[in-house]
Each structure stands twice: as C-alpha cells, then as structure tokens.
Amino acid sequence: MKYAVIGTGAIGGYYGGRLAHSGQEVHFLAHSDYEEMRSQGLQVDSCLGSFIIENPRAYRSTSEMPVVDVVFVALKTVNNHLLPEMLKPIVGPDTIVVLIQNGIGVEEDLQAQMPGLQIATGLGFICSTKIGPAHISHQDYGALTLANYSVKDDNRVGQVATDLEQAGVATDILPYDFARWRKAIWNLPFNGLTVALNTDTLSLVNSEEGYALLKNIMMEVIALANAAGVESLNVEHALSNLEATRSMLPYAPSMKVDWDHHRPMEIYYLYTKALQKADALGVKAPYLEMLEKQLRYLERHRR
C-alpha cells in the first residue's frame, strides 16, 4: 500500500521511517525539515538498529502529495483544527487515516468534521524523541496498537498491521474503546506529572510520593473507563504500567518535551476531554481535575 505521514517527528518519523526502510512507498510531510530531509535523508537512531532513509519522498505541503491508501497522522493534537484541509488532497474514498495521537476523543471530533472519513487509531508504546532536523532517537520499546474506529473493512486495518510487522514494528489490533482507555492509563498521569513536578518518568515512579500520585490518577482513569463501558480495565493494569515504567530508561514524555521547548501542551485532549466525559458520566476525578488546572496555570503563566 501507499503511505503518507503527516507529522514527521518523533513518532511519525519512526513508524514512517520503519515502513520506508522495509521497502514501502512512504510520502513524508516535512514542513521545517524539508531541506534537511532532501539533502541528508531521514535518520533514525534506534535501539533496535539504526538506519537512514536516503532521498525520502518529502514535501512542504500535502497539496503536492499524491492520494494514498493510508495516512499516518502524528501531529500534536493542538494542530488538529488544520487536519481537514491537510487531508483533503491526499485522501480518496478508500483511504484509511490512522491517528497516532494522545488523548480521548480525537477520532470523534475529526469524524464530526469529515463524516465520510475512514478512521483508525494508532497507539504507540514507544520512547522516541526528535533530536534534530530529520533526526529521530528511538530509545526503548516501539510497539504500535491499531484499533478500528470507522474503517469499513477490518481486513484493511489488518493489512496495515502486516506491513508494520514486516517493517519490524510489533503490532496488534484491539477494540477501539479498550485500546484508547488502556493507553490513557499511562498517558494521563505521566505526561502531566512530569511537567508539573519537573521530572522524568523513572524519578517519578521510583519516589514514594510520585508512585502514589501516579497510582491515584491511574485509578481515576480506570474508573472513568469502567463507567464508559470498558469494564475489563482494573487495578492490575495500573500496577503493570507502573512496573513497566520502572524497567524503562528515564524518559521525558511528549508533553514534558513540549513544555521544555516552549511549545503548546496537549491539555485539551489529554485532560479536558477526559474530564468532560467524567462529568457526563458522573465520575469524580479530583486528581485529574487538579492536574489539568495545574497545567493550564503553568501554560498561562509560562516564563
């Protein structure tokens, strides 16, 4: 299949790079990295084996790109208002759009803007950072979970999974609601707390106070998931996330990287949308509510 990547950063650059390295046709939206990608290629330093995509198919705008079979969207969600115009030139009637993004409700909102769009979810379990123009550093993990949100034919999501597996990316396919909420168990506590407490994942999980905060937020996310109908998530998922993080290298999640580089944080889809759902479902989430307010205060009074 023919692929496109919108958002050639830490996540899109890694997964798109893996596909291109395996021989798939991948078209990259480069924006500010266009010149470097054209002159130096796309470099991926990976714990699983480094590589360079020489002469990648790079573009400044989607208006220059062809219609493709699959679009990987790895933009930060603060830019999702741009997606309808960005997608129109490269999406045909059978194109699948895979949102590899953090948070709750991203598919729902894009579907409302583009009702006929076929959407799938991509949830990366990966430690990856963009360390320079067209230069990705992949430090740990790397699996990708896919979930069908509104794709008409499940087999087409399966083909994407097969292509990723052949590219060296461990891939599974799970039901949409379960997959989204399971990822939120890790995303919501670690992204916000590393910003609010100015720390990394390992320091946070290895401290008594940090561990308690993480677990309390995870249990609120699980309660919210249960109320939303995902009853199979429980305390064991919280504990396994905490223990898995202890085995990771010290890591700055994407929100911490954005904060450190004075970029807008993904507060809306990671926290505000979750709290809106909690309110609608009658679920109390005081830790999440406080964390969202702390992050909004920090962003509003950034120095």
d(C-alpha 94, C-alpha 109), whole Å: 20
| Active-site annotation holder among 2, 76, 130, 183 | 183
Tell me the two tokens of residue 98.
């895979």
What is the per-residue burial (b if ≥16 Cβ within 10 Å, else e) of 150-181?
Answer: bbeeeebbeebbebbeebebebeebebebbbb
Q: Are 254 and 267 in contact (CB under 8 A)?
A: no
For the question of residue 183 being annotated catalytic, the response is: yes
Q: Are 23 and 168 in contact (CB under 8 A)?
A: no
- Measured from the Cβ of residue 116, the count of other Cβ atoms closer than 10 Å reads 8
Which stretch of DSSP H or E encloses residue 6? strand 2-6
DSSP letter for each residue of 113-143:
HSTT-EEEEEEEEEEEEEEETTEEEEEEEEE
Residues constituting the chain:
303
Could you list the active site residues? Answer: 183
